[in-house]
């Protein structure tokens, strides 16, 4: 029998009725009616004990590791104190990837579910109970919470599911080319490798959706940190895949000479404008503008960088363009 107390059904209004079914990834849900805990009460901090360490955007390991999602704590344990929480699909979707080899990723065993406009990722699982291609409903079990990872020793006391809302950057060809040029080992996870995914803040997204904002409106609502211009006739699969979000109202069948792209401070190429002409005096890639209020975070995320001559495009942004197949020098 379904435990409907932890599944929340929302009707979001737009020009037409937009139905959205959301489930928190664990049974202890802060978004259910009469929830005993708020979202903060469901976040698992790192060993530091600081709440923000389990949230999106926290910079770990001396500034070298950005936290792409949120860590949702375990509330159910066996008699031997082993995590036993069931993990549920956040929304209706299809299983796009399932890694059952804990030692093959810092995510440990993890599942990626593809939804209409984005992906969700569930990491550090003890078991994976779905297969690639399987359709899942919001609130359907996909695995068991665990402590698996190839690089972190996660004790049972801090067991959690790492949850992300993501977008894929490159396709099978462009990402494979970029990966081969930058790493000597084999890519075990295809386009669902974590370094080919860019996440947004799940808490901010959920809070907005609960208030009636449609997903498509939320994704483009983030203030841009940097706007760049690139001269290229290339139309990345990213734009085609997420056109309803990032390039709405644009005819992608028309030839382009370049793009103006707005990036969030955490590296999401969130708004695309095709250009029918490029000034020949312009360089192939240039920083058009940046938002001063976003500069600090964008520098930390390497979307921007500081040079002697001023603020410039950062290496993360350049690598994102390369993953999408742009020829960037």
Give the SS3 label for residue 313. Answer: strand
Tell me the domain boundaries of the chain.
4-168, 215-323
Q: Kindly state the DSSP code that residue 137 receives in the 8-state scheme.
A: -
The predicted pLDDT at position 20 comes to 66
CATH placement of domain 4-168:
2.70.70.10
Give mean pLDDT in consecutive 10-residue pieces for the chain, a chain of 329 residues. Answer: 35 35 93 89 92 82 70 95 96 97 95 95 98 97 97 92 97 98 95 96 90 79 92 96 86 91 95 94 97 93 95 97 95
pLDDT at 17: 26
Q: What span, in angstroms and rounded, lies between the C-alpha atoms of 219 and 202?
A: 11
Q: Rounded CA gap, 215 and 90, in Å?
A: 13
Q: Would you state the pLDDT for residue 9?
A: 34
């Amino acid at each position: 029998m379904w435990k409907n107390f932890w599944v929340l059904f929302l009707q979001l209004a737009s020009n037409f009725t937009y139905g959205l079914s959301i489930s928190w990834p664990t049974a202890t849900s802060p978004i259910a009616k009469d929830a005993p805990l708020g979202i903060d009460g469901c976040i698992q901090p790192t060993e530091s004990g600081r709440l923000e360490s389990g949230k999106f955007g926290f910079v770990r390991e001396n500034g070298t590791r950005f936290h792409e999602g949120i860590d949702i704590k375990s509330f159910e344990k066996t008699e031997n104190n082993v995590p036993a929480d069931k993990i549920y699909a956040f929304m209706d979707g299809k299983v796009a990837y399932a890694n059952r080899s804990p030692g093959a990723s810092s995510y440990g065993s993890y599942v990626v579910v593809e939804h209409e406009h984005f992906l969700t990722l569930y990491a550090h699982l003890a078991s994976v109970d779905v297969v690639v291609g399987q359709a899942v409903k919001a609130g359907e079990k996909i695995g068991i919470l665990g402590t698996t990872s190839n690089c972190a020793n996660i004790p049972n006391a801090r067991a959690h599911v790492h949850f992300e809302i993501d977008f894929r950057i490159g396709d099978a060809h462009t990402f494979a080319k970029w990966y081969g040029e930058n790493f000597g080992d084999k890519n075990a996870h295809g386009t669902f490798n974590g370094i080919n995914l860019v996440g947004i803040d799940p808490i901010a997204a959920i809070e907005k959706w609960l208030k009636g904002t449609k997903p498509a409106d939320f994704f483009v609502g983030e203030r841009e940190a940097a706007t760049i211009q690139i001269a290229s006739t290339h139309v990345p699969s990213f734009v085609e895949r997420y056109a309803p979000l990032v390039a709405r109202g644009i005819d992608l069948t028309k030839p382009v000479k370049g793009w103006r792209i707005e990036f969030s401070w955490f590296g999401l190429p969130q708004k695309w404008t095709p250009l029918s002409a490029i000034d020949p005096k312009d360089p192939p890639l240039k920083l058009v503008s940046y938002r001063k209020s976003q500069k600090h975070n964008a520098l930390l995320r390497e979307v921007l960088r500081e040079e002697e001559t001023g603020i410039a495009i950062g290496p993360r942004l350049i690598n994102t363009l390369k993953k999408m197949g742009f020829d960037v020098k």
